[in-house]
Amino acid sequence: MADATIKINLAWRFERIYLRDVNVSLHETPELFDMKWQPNADMNIQGDFRKVSDHRYEVALKLTMTCKNLDKLALEMTLEQAALVRVQAETQQEDVQRILAVEATNALFPYVREAVDNLAVRMSLPPLMLGHFNFEKIFEEGLRQMNLKNTQSAVSANISSDEVMN
């Protein structure tokens, strides 16, 4: 079998991955440990990115969770997992936004999941095993909302200009 060289051209890569902020509170202890564990969690996850320097960005996922067990507050957790991302110079600007909002956040989410499970276990709880978030769907919905707002703004601007001209 002949040796084959595979050239991989990645448009981006992580330079560093880090926990930027963590805050956890465990409630109803020690009685919580004697209860049957039937968690009901409310979660909110937000993604954000900002330019750090040429071709470098910070991408962050902030998870806020409130977990009840048998209708009693058991756990509150807020954590922010972040990463420095380098995007290749030749990457088109419209692709950069998708890379940061979809690809980098999808790649960063397993670190959020691991941090949540690790913290839960350290608090003597079972791992919470977060499900997958569809960041592409969230990104597409955000674009759709932005396009809708831009269309409505344009319509409003046109109505206003017609009123002025009459």
Task: State the CATH number of the domain containing residue 49.
Answer: 3.10.420.10
pLDDT value at position 93?
Answer: 84
pLDDT tens digits, one per residue of 105-130: 999 999 999 999 999 999 999 999 98
Judge whether 39 lies within some domain.
no
pLDDT value at position 145?
Answer: 77
pTM of the entire predicted model: 0.79
By the 10 Å C-beta count (0-12 exposed, 13-18 middle, 19+ buried), 92 is classed as exposed
Structure tokens at 50: 């900002």
HEC sequence for 45-64: EEEEEEEEECCEEEEEEEEE
Domain that holds residue 81: 12-20+45-62+77-146
Report how many domains make up the chain. 1
Judge whether 91 lies within some domain.
yes
Low-confidence residues in the chain, pLDDT < 50: 151-166
pLDDT value at position 165?
Answer: 31
pLDDT value at position 160?
Answer: 28
Judge whether 2 lies within some domain.
no
pLDDT value at position 112?
Answer: 96
Judge whether 113 lies within some domain.
yes
pLDDT value at position 92?
Answer: 84
Edge to edge, the sheet with strand 56-69 lists 12-26, 72-87, 56-69, 39-53
Judge whether 3 lies within some domain.
no
Judge whether 83 lies within some domain.
yes
Judge whether 56 lies within some domain.
yes
Judge whether 100 lies within some domain.
yes
| Cβ contact 128:120 at 8 Å | yes
